Amino acid sequence: MSSKLLLTPGPTNIPERYLEIFGKDIIHHRTPEFRKYMKENNEYLKKIFKTKNDVAVITSSGTGVMEAAVVNFFSKGDKVLAINTGYFGDRFRKIGEIYGLDVINLQYEFGESYELSDVKKVISENPDLKGILMTHSETSVGILNDVKAVGDLTKNTDIILAVDTISGLVVNDFDFDGWGVDVAIAGSQKAFLIPPGLAFVAISDKAEKAMEKSDLPKYYFDLKQYKKYFDDNNETPYTPAIALVLALNASLKDLVNKGIENIISEKRNLRKYIEEKAQKLGFKLLVKTEENRTNTLISIYREDIVIKSIISALEEKGYTVTGGKGKYAQSLMRIGILGEISKEQIDDFFVIFEEEVKKQLGK
């Protein structure tokens, strides 16, 4: 196993049982064997997204499918709302603007979730609104945004709700069909515990109709091609990351067998455990309200220490954690818990963490 514990919001340490798959020879992607994996993966992904519809598998990073979530469902000049609660919400805004959408940017302070009344106001004042772009788990701050509340506003309208749940899926509650989501995206290097390189897109019936009308340019990310190839032959239109598709199969089996509810509960308990330990060390939690804290990572800060030097010291001792972004670049530490991490490992981490804090405070 790795000598470093990745306490990051992804990628995670890769369990030994998946690493073994990468040591095997490759298979061809136009064979019955590969098609069997694709078909099985689709059935598992439907269970994880909680949707009756197929889930496209694309060889890409998460940002690639953020772009796919924009270019496949809208047309030039379409008005969309970006619910912007951090770095990745802002990325959705940027992608929309680059493709010539008319983006209403609803921006909030770092550490704050969105206000539903603001979203209702935008919808009521913009009868020509075509879409809402939002982040489920905003990893730059550790916010969990309420997707269901927005879905309740859009589900009986023509507004397309596109949700980035790249770091949110599996470890936080998510219900694609039940919440009225139209497009949802996720990535392999997060709670799926395999390397970066695969991304997933769930599409509602409503979004599928919108795909037919979209005039934005696309080639590699044209989801109609992925749908056609999968419908016709359980294949991908272009060469996929074959080894990742095989590792994903093992990962999905494990996730479904363990039970998503059990994983969510386990992560919630681990998050709370870390929050308590951090507060005992004099750190504050960036996200003040419990229901807005993601189980993906814990954002903590303390003004009287330089967090960057502590992060460097932890890295040297075998623990990778991440700092903050934007105005919290100096003071924030983000402790990711997407991987297979035990309380014992967290205890060991906090022993080193406390030593480094004391060193800095001169104690």
Query: Higher-confidence residue: 328 or 182?
Result: 182
Looking at the fold, whether 248 and 159 belong to one and the same domain comes out as yes
Looking at the fold, whether 165 and 37 belong to one and the same domain comes out as yes
- pLDDT for the residue numbered 16: 97
Residue-wise pLDDT tens digits, 71-109: 999 999 999 999 999 999 999 999 999 999 999 999 999
- The residue among 237, 257, 277 that closes a domain is 257
Q: What is the CATH number of the domain that holds 125?
A: 3.40.640.10
Is the predicted pLDDT of residue 3 greater than 90, yes or no? no
- pLDDT for the residue numbered 355: 97
Tell me which residue of 230, 234, 217 sits closest to 68, measured CA to CA: 217
Looking at the fold, whether 226 and 332 belong to one and the same domain comes out as no
Looking at the fold, whether 173 and 201 belong to one and the same domain comes out as yes
Looking at the fold, whether 283 and 177 belong to one and the same domain comes out as no
What is the C-alpha to C-alpha distance for residues 255 and 227, in angstroms, rounded to an integer?
A: 25
Average pLDDT over residues 164-192: 98
Looking at the fold, whether 187 and 270 belong to one and the same domain comes out as no
**Which residue shows structure tokens 């990310």?**
221
Residue-wise pLDDT tens digits, 212-248: 999 999 999 999 999 999 999 999 999 999 999 999 9
Looking at the fold, whether 42 and 183 belong to one and the same domain comes out as yes
3-state secondary structure of 50: coil
- Tell me the pLDDT band of 112, cut-offs 50, 70 and 90: very high
- pLDDT for the residue numbered 1: 47
Looking at the fold, whether 48 and 76 belong to one and the same domain comes out as yes
Looking at the fold, whether 45 and 164 belong to one and the same domain comes out as yes
What is the C-alpha to C-alpha distance for residues 312 and 336, in angstroms, rounded to an integer?
A: 16
Residue-wise pLDDT tens digits, 53-77: 999 999 999 999 999 999 999 999 9
Residue-wise pLDDT tens digits, 129-170: 999 999 999 999 999 999 999 999 999 999 999 999 999 999
What is the C-alpha to C-alpha distance for residues 58 and 157, in angstroms, rounded to an integer?
A: 28
Annotate 138-195 with DSSP letters as a single string.
Answer: ETTTTEE--HHHHHHHHTTSS-EEEEE-TTTTTTS---TTTTT-SEEEEETTSTT-S-
- pLDDT for the residue numbered 37: 98
Tell me whether residue 334 is annotated as binding. yes
Looking at the fold, whether 163 and 137 belong to one and the same domain comes out as yes
What is the C-alpha to C-alpha distance for residues 332 and 328, in angstroms, rounded to an integer?
A: 5
- Non-local CB neighbours of 68 within 8 Å, separated by 6+ positions: 58, 60, 185, 199, 201, 218, 221, 223
Query: Higher-confidence residue: 184 or 303?
Result: 184
8 A C-beta contact, residue 141 and residue 294: no
Residue-wise pLDDT tens digits, 306-336: 899 999 999 999 999 999 876 777 889 999 9
Looking at the fold, whether 322 and 239 belong to one and the same domain comes out as no
Tell me which residue of 28, 25, 55 sits closest to 41, measured CA to CA: 55
- The residue among 231, 257, 283 that closes a domain is 257
- The residue among 208, 230, 257 that closes a domain is 257
Looking at the fold, whether 59 and 167 belong to one and the same domain comes out as yes
- pLDDT for the residue numbered 2: 58
Average pLDDT over residues 186-211: 98
Range of the domain at 348: 5-10+259-361
Q: What is the CATH number of the domain that holds 277?
A: 3.90.1150.10
How many structural domains is the chain composed of?
2
